[in-house]
Amino acid sequence: MSQTLNVHVRVNDAATGRPTAVRIRISGPDGRYYPPLGHAVDFPVGRNEDVGGHVYLKREECGTTLRVAIHDAERRATLTSGQHQAYIDGSCEIPLPTGVPLEVEISKGPAYTPIREQVTLGAGQLTLRFVIARWTGATWNGMVAVDSRCHFLSPHAAKLEAEAEGLDFVNLLATVQDYPSPDGHMYRTTPNLFAFSGQAPSIERVYVNTFHEHPALGRLALLNCHRPVFPLTFGNMDETDDWSLADWCDQCHRKKGLVVWCDAYRQEAGLPGGEALIDAILGKIDAIELDAHVRPTSFLPLWYRLLNAGIRLPVVGGSGKDSNRIALGGVRTLTPAGETRSYAEWIETVRAGRTIATNEPLLRWAINGQPYATSVTSTNDQPVRFSAEIASSEPIERFEIIANGLVIATSSSDLIEVEHQLPEGGWLAARCWSTAKSRLYPHVPIFAHTSPIWVNSPRRQTSAVTSLLREIEGVRQWIDTTGRFTIEKRKEQLLALCEAADRKLNTSP
């Protein structure tokens, strides 16, 4: 006869022999989830609803057509059951039944081999012990993994989840959130603002900075500031448009910070491109983010168009986690460890463009034999040698090298090499992807993508420039017809930014 016992569960790291933080799920033969003590069987999964300590992962939404992030092919999603999982610091107690088969699933980010075992507790058995190990070789263990953006977790919850997902640093961003109170009022709140830590950790691994938003002009993450930049929003119903994203960028840079363009080209983020596009053209934005939220349109063609217009814009990966439906690190930024011993060094590595955005595969590159080079000078008749290598615990369908937005080489192995001429200049990058979704992070299909490596001066393709000029004109029209300005000088400053972006695109590099 089955009985329920409080079983002590411990998970050790194979390399250290010590308990290590992991994500865990134990379920019965009927699929029932058995949470650790202190964790709920069920928990909220809405935005800003008690975020942290557990996660609910669902691979697909039934009957929804998704356009995936890496390519333009549309496909019909199928229904799969969701899974409740808990984060633990390496040990916990779980009330479990004896005498029945239990499914144990344990993970620790993409560099570790997940544990999937079936166990049956004997009468009076009070312990379960597991060992989790890296599958990557020593040459891959040096990659630094960072989540560029998450919201609403407490710093302590972010630290626990970061350790359990194999992240070295986490950027926890305070963001304005309206809160409907039971007293009938809508209050404007900013969770984690008073935990702001800027250039220092709030707690080990976790850096608290700020997220900034205009409903039409764009959204920015300001990282590594020595103090918050205010206001955090402008242009909402109770606010005027007497500010600019450029103001945020300039203040962040004066404080040695890094500006990341978030939610780029999302419909809910306002104008296509918006002022964020203008600031990227003017060099005020340091990187563009690819996150773990499903996108209605493909990210890559829009980013490639910016690159083809000669805009130097590295990519970073961030989960954008704002609820318990997304795993921290579900998309992450990889950088070479030799250049990233501290958070400040990570900031400069991103600014230089030595980054990979990924949701699981590991990827690295070299150009003319120089690992992680971000630019190279080549004469017209001399090709550049570009190589890239991947390592992944999941099958990869396509491994490609891109030149000025076009595929120039593919490989079915984990290594790809090519010699290529770019007589008029431009950029190269490596990417890999599969249509299948990751078992660890089933938010978007499996992918990894490097930042661009520039060859000679950035090349400006006429079609790309023409498209961006149309977007700038759209911003100019919004300023003239829709913007709510009480200070004429602020309107003139925004229009001047549009003019400056126009001039830069129309000037030879």
Q: What radius of gyration, in Å, describes the C-alpha atoms of the chain?
A: 24
Rounded to 5°, angle at Cα 92 from 87 and 97: 105
Termini Cα distance of the chain: 78
Mapped onto helix, strand or coil, the DSSP state of residue 63 is coil
Which pair of structure tokens corresponds to residue 467?
Answer: 């498209």
d(CA 258, CA 2): 57
d(CA 354, CA 374): 7
* Residue 19 DSSP code: B
Please state, in angstroms and as integers, the Cα–Cα distance from residue 198 to each residue in 74, 194, 245, 356, following that order: 41, 11, 19, 23
Helix 488-505 × helix 274-281 angle, to 10°: 50
Neighbours of 435 (CB within 10 A): 13
Which pLDDT belongs to residue 210? 98
Strand partners, 187: 179
Q: How far is CA 285 from the centre of its chain?
A: 17
Which pLDDT belongs to residue 198? 97
- Cite the residue boundaries of each domain of the chain with CATH code 2.60.40.2190: 4-132
Please state, in angstroms and as integers, the Cα–Cα distance from residue 287 to each residue in 210, 277, 364, 379, 488, following that order: 16, 12, 19, 28, 31
With contact defined as beta carbons under 8 Å apart, do 221 and 172 qualify? no
Residue type for 268, please? E
Torsion angle defined by CA atoms of residues 230, 201, 170 and 161, in that order, rounded to the nearest 10 degrees: -120
Which pLDDT belongs to residue 1? 65
Place of tokens 């075992």: 117
Neighbours of 303 (CB within 10 A): 21
Which pLDDT belongs to residue 75? 30
Residue type for 133, please? A
- Cite the residue boundaries of each domain of the chain with CATH code 3.20.20.140: 138-356+460-509
Please count the helices (runs of H) and the strands (runs of E) in the chain: 7, 31
- Cite the residue boundaries of each domain of the chain with CATH code 2.60.40.10: 359-459
pLDDT in tens, 16-57: 999 999 999 999 999 999 999 999 999 999 999 999 999 999
Which pLDDT belongs to residue 188? 94
User: Which of 491, 474, 499, 492 has its CA nearest to residue 216?
Assistant: 474
* Residue 14 DSSP code: T
Q: Residues, the chain, total?
A: 509
d(CA 327, CA 443): 9
Structural domain 138-356+460-509, CATH architecture: Alpha-Beta Barrel (3.20)
Which pLDDT belongs to residue 69? 40
Which pLDDT belongs to residue 378? 84
Strand partners, 145: 334
Q: Name residues of the chain where pLDDT drops below 70.
A: 1, 59-82, 339-340, 380, 508-509
With contact defined as beta carbons under 8 Å apart, do 421 and 381 qualify? yes
d(CA 159, CA 156): 5
Classify domain 359-459 at the CATH topology level.
Immunoglobulin-like (2.60.40)
Which pair of structure tokens corresponds to residue 202?
Answer: 């709030």
Pick the CATH number of 4-132 from 3.30.70.80, 3.40.640.10, 2.60.40.2190, 3.40.30.10: 2.60.40.2190
